[in-house]
Structure 1
Amino acid sequence: MAKVAQACPKCGAPNVVAGGGNSEKSFVAALLLCFFLGAFGIHRFYVGKIGTGILMLLTLGGLGIWALIDFIIIAIGSFKDAEGRRIRNN
């Protein structure tokens, strides 16, 4: 895949190198949604990860463990949106 391509022409996967790396989603919003509603996966719906959001909703965030791990990942700036771009505090 060319470095300037927005997505792979064969599979449609986003090119993180061309995309600039950071998501347009709000870091603070994702962090607060995870803190208050993490057991319901609302923060995953917010960033576009619908499938794992539904799984978190059905398992209550892996009984809170999955939600806690996501909170830590968001807080350190490594959480990614559905397009593979990091949600960071700019």
Structure 2
Amino acid sequence: MINSTPIIGAPRAGSRTPRQQRGYRNPTDAWLLWIFFGWLGLHRYYIGDWKKGVAMTLTLGGFGLWSLLDGFFLTRRLRRINSGRL
């Protein structure tokens, strides 16, 4: 006879891991998007800030200034997203 009691702490089949529930974003991917396509705001779409992404796309990254400033704050924003504090 097979024991059907679940192991305590084991995830159920089909359940999502905490990283998947939070919407984990890879910092390397975000930085590469910022480096090559920051002027279009593609890094903003990737991290889930689609409204700011649209604004950056329409203004070409705030004429470069907004995109440049995002380089200083991208790591902090990713940490907040990945810790679940959005």
The C-alpha deviation readout for 1:18-56, integer Å capped at 9, x for no partner, is x9xx86101011011011100100000011111000000
Unaligned runs of 5+ residues in structure 2 are: 1-18
The share of aligned pairs that are identical, in percent, is 33
Please report the TM-score for the alignment, with normalisation by the length of structure 1: 0.60
Q: Which portions of structure 1, spanning 4 or more consecutive aligned residues, are displaced by more than 6 angstroms?
A: none
Q: Is the 8 A contact 1:70 1:79 kept in 2?
A: no
Instruction: Tell me the residue number matched to 2:33.
Output: 33
- What does 1:61-72 align with in structure 2 at a 5 Å threshold? 61-72=61-72
Please report the TM-score for the alignment, with normalisation by the length of structure 2: 0.63
Q: Give me the CA root mean square deviation.
A: 2.5
Larger radius of gyration: 2
Instruction: Tell me the residue number matched to 1:79.
Output: 77
Question: How far 1:86 sits from its partner (Å)?
Answer: 4.8
